[in-house]
Structure formats: C-alpha cells, structure tokens
Amino acid sequence: MSNPTVVIVGAGASGLSAARSLQDSGLVDVIILEARNRIGGRINTVTSSGYNVDRGASWIHGHGGGNPIYTIATDNDIALVDCNYSDTVLYDFDGTDITYTRLPDIESEFSEVMDYVATLQDDTNRDQPLSNGITEGVADLGWNTWLRDPDVGTRYLNFKCQDEIVHEYAADTSALSLWWFDSQGEFPGSDKLFPGGYSQIPNILAEGLDIRLSSPVASISYDPTGATVTTTGGTSFSADYVVVSVPLGVLKAGDIAFTPPLPEPTASAVGLMEMGLLDKYVLIFQTVFWDDVTFINFASNTNGYWPQILNLDKAFGTPGLMVFAAGSFAQDASTAYSDAQAEAAILAELRIMYGNAVPTSATSFVRTDWSHDEYAWGSYSFQPVGFEPLKDYGALQDVISGRLLLAGEHTDCLNPATVHGAYESGQRVADAILQGLAVGAAVPQPVVCMSDVSTSASARLSLFAVVSILFTSLAQINS
C-alpha cells in the first residue's frame, strides 16, 4: 500500500518546515511546487562585489527559549553574530550629531508616549489606528514642550515612530491596529545575523526533498476525499493533502484559484490582514568612511526618508551599508526612484552626515522591491484595525475539508512576520496531517495566540474565544 501524497505549494520557510517533518516521518510522500527558480521565498542571499547580502530576512529574533531557527543554525555550525541595537549614532537633518545631546531625551519621551499607548489599549473599548493613540499620548504628555519648537518635535517623533514601529511592523502607524500591533510573542535573548547569509537555513531544510522549481500553481480543487493541484503550465498533481504556504500577498491577489472558494471565515481573514513593506538598499564601497557603530540613524525632515542604516562593516567586515525603507515611504520609493536615483538620494543623505568622504557612487548597489514581486506582493503581514487575532488566525489555521491547510508567517498567531513563525506554522500543518492519517482527515491543532505578550493584549482574549474556534474547526472537519 502506497503512502498518502502531500503537495506543498511554496518552498519558503513554512513549506520547507512542513516538508522536512512530513518526509522524515516516512509516512507520506511529499512534493513541493515552487514558483521561483530557487528555494527560500522571502529568504534570499545574493552576492554583491563578492559579499553576501540578504535581500529578505536578515535576523534571528531572539536566540533563547528554543527559537527553532537558532537551533537549526547551531546544530549545523552556522556562524552567527550578535546585533547590538543600542550601538548607534543619530544625525539630525543638517548633519549634526545629536547622539549624546538630544537622543537620550528623545528616547525617554517616546518611551513615555508608548507607555501611554499601552494604557490606552486597556482603557479604550474600540480598536483604532495606532497613530491616534500616539497623537493622544503626545498631546497629553507634551512631547514638544522641552524642544520649544513643534517642527523639531515632529521630526524627532517621526524618526522614533519609524525607528521603533514602522520599520518593525513594515507599516505606518496609521495602518496598524492600536489593540494588536504589538501582540506578538518574543523569544528571549539577543538577535543574531548571518555572516554567510540566511539562505543557509532553507538550504539545510531542503536537503533530499522533492522540489519542483519554476512551477507556479494556478489552481487547487479539493473535497473531503482529496485534492488536485494544477500549475500554470498545465501539469496536475493529485494529492491526499495540500499545504498552501505561499505569502499572504499571493492569497490576497487571488493568484491561486480555489475550487470551491476558501470558506468565508478564511477568505475574510485573508482579506482583512494586510501585507507590509520593508525594502533594503545595499551599497558596497571600496573604503569605509562612516561611524564604527552598528546602526547609523538620520532624522530627516521628510518622514520615512531612509532613517535607519545597518553598518555591514561592523556586523560582518563587509565595507557596505544596508539602508532601510518601510511603510508608505517604501511604497512610494519603489516607483518614484529608479535604481540610479535611489543610489544618488542615499549618497546625498550620507554626504549630509559625512561630507566629502562619501564617493560619487557605490562600488555596487542592490535594491529590493518586494511590493512588486509577483510571488510575494510585499514583505510580511501586519494586523490592521478591525483584525481579531483569535478569530482570524483561527480561520487561517482551519483544516479545510480535512484536506487543505494554510501555512506561513501570516498564519502564526504567536510569531507572525518572522522566519521562526513561518517555520512553526509548517510544524503545525505537518502535525495536523500526521495526526490525521489514522482517520483520513487532517486534525486541526489548538489555536495558540498568546504567550509572552503584553498584558493589555492578553486581557482582550478570552478562553471562550479559544474554545469556540476549536469547536468551529472540528465541526468543519466533520461536515
């Protein structure tokens, strides 16, 4: 008797995680269909002037507490380096170094504003944009009073919002949910970077797997007896189970046709959750002319104008800078600046800080454009106003007709927008399939939404909501 067949759509972190567990079980046969001509999805290490550059994921977020990505790295002797976020310098819009003169006060007052936001999360009975809470906090605490200049205060406030929120969640504060923007769990310990590139992780996971590259999926038909997956080239694969691990942006774009359509709760959750944007601009130089710190920050008069720069020389010994853009500025920059214009604009910003030491051009320039990537349509997910974690993540984690499962960072309630969240989602669907082999239908796993998260977020969740989602999932299996 042959093993059941599992077709996995997507060879990113979640798809590879699921495939690794399923194949290692020896109980199922696994085929991965990957649209790109490479594995890894939004993990993509390239070389520029002979140096490794991560176009997508860069960090292991928290190396303690059993972070699976850290475990894979250490088990395979992959080199890692610490990322010290406090090792930083801040330049004002005119090139004045304000690291020691103004930054301590800016950070202290912004911390007070965010404490106010945390209190507001508990006190308000309706969700609203995070920007509303920040504005209210600034008005109540008098952010601008110590500066005596509202324009200056606004510039510094915008910088801190970019530095701590927009670049973290890949979305403007006006797009993020006040209630849920910070409801994710966290692993303890320092963050880590990969001198040899993040692609080492998917390369390890993929060893020995049956991966069909350049195989975009056009449609998936399913019922309680099985499924058929058809590529854009017309090749069809019959499956007992299908794992759809494509990014949220692909689901939102409707690039894969489902027959029947996804159930309303799942489709609604896909429609409600949003895809954020964080782009990178990497400039490699012949010589180092910048500060010997991990992060170089710039408080521009233009909100979002490349405020955060990772010093690759300090991190890896690479003579380069990784410049970040996020949220609406990143979206605008993706169409407003050609490669040459983007490089010129960044060099002009660097000259404000470092003067004539900045050359007229970089040795090499690498730029990402995730919002126009047809196999991603964005960087990673975020929670907008109106999103309800237990209900919507529960719908994304449903086992549909006992045969169809979704995986990816956008389906992981505890750790969305992270590689370890994507990996854990792959483990979840693999467990659901393996546990269901005896009964002929995948078994939904408990919806775990909160662990090491803020008290304000936990207070808005109820045991009743958890139980109701579990019963809904079980009822769907039996229908």
The alpha-helical segments, DSSP class H, found in 231-338 are 248-253, 264-272, 312-316, 327-336
Go through 28-54 and write b for each residue having 16 or more CB atoms within 10 A of its CB, e for each that does not: bbbbbbbbbeebbbbbbbeebbebbbb
Mark whether 232 and 287 lie in a shared domain.
no
Pick the closest to residue 400 from 251, 255, 253, 276 (CA basis).
251
Q: Are 396 and 268 in a shared domain?
A: yes
Q: Which of 38, 46, 40 lies closest to 247, judged by CA?
A: 40
Q: Which two tokens stand for residue 421?
A: 């969240």
Residues 393 and 259 in one domain: yes
Which tokens belong to 357?
């030491």
| Residues whose CB is less than 8 angstroms from the CB of residue 103 and which lie 6 or more positions away in sequence, other chains included | 90
Q: Which residues contact 140 (CB under 8 A, 6 or more apart)?
A: 116
- Beta strands of 292-420 (E only): which ranges? 295-298, 308-311, 320-326, 364-367, 381-382, 404-406
Residue after which a domain boundary falls, among 344, 372, 400: 372
Same domain as 321, residue 402 = no
Q: Are 206 and 148 in contact (CB under 8 A)?
A: no
For residue 1, the model assigns a pLDDT of 66
Residue 114's pLDDT is what? 95
Q: How many domains does the chain have?
A: 2
Same domain for 362 and 342: yes
CATH of the domain at 320: 3.90.660.10
Question: pLDDT tens digits, the chain, 479 residues: what are they?
Answer: 689 999 999 999 999 999 999 999 999 999 999 999 999 999 999 999 999 999 999 999 999 999 999 999 999 999 999 999 999 999 999 999 999 999 999 999 899 999 999 999 999 999 999 999 999 999 888 776 555 577 788 899 999 999 999 999 999 999 999 999 998 889 999 999 999 999 999 999 999 999 999 999 999 999 999 999 999 999 999 999 999 999 999 999 999 999 999 999 999 999 999 999 999 999 999 999 999 999 999 999 999 999 999 999 999 999 999 999 999 999 999 999 999 999 999 999 999 999 999 999 999 999 999 999 999 999 999 999 999 999 999 999 999 999 999 999 999 999 999 999 999 999 999 999 999 998 888 888 878 775 433 444 444 454 334 433 443 444 444 44
H/E/C letters for each residue in 102-134?
A: CHHHHHHHHHHHHHHHHHHHHHCCCCCEHHHHH
The boundaries of the domain holding residue 251 are 5-40+199-273+381-478
SS3 69: helix
Tell me if 170 sits within 8 A of 417, measured CB to CB: yes
* Distance, CA of 230 to CA of 374 (rounded, Å): 18
What distances in angstroms separate CA 140 from CA 99, 112, 136, 174, 441, one per listed residue? Answer: 26, 11, 6, 19, 55
* Tokens coding 453: 């998260």
> Among the residues of 142-288, which ranges form H helices?
150-161, 167-169, 200-205, 248-253, 264-272
Q: Is residue 76 part of a domain?
A: no
The reply to whether 154 falls in a domain is no
Mark whether 457 and 409 lie in a shared domain: yes
Lookup: tokens for 131:
């920007």
Specify whether 250 is located in the same domain as 291: no
Separation between Cα atoms, residue 172 and residue 151, nearest integer Å: 20
Query: Does residue 170 fall inside a structural domain?
Result: no
Last residue of a domain, one of 312, 341, 372: 372
Contact between residue 294 and residue 88 where contact means Cβ atoms under 8 Å apart: yes
260 and 395: one domain?
yes
Give the pLDDT of residue 147: 56
Q: How far is Cα 70 from Cα 60, in angstroms, rounded to an integer? A: 7
One domain, residues 322 and 333:
yes
Identify the domain boundary among 372, 401, 422: 372
Judge whether 405 and 241 are in contact, CB under 8 Å.
yes
* pLDDT of res. 168: 97
Decide if 143 contacts 157 (C-beta within 8 A): yes
**387 and 257 part of one domain:** yes
Strands (E), 49-93: 51-54, 59-60, 81-82, 88-91
Task: Give the pLDDT confidence score for residue 474 in this predicted structure.
Answer: 43
What CATH code is carried by the domain that includes residue 458?
Answer: 3.50.50.60
- pTM, two decimals, is 0.93
In terms of DSSP bridges, do strands 274-275 and 45-48 run parallel, antiparallel, or are they unpaired? unpaired
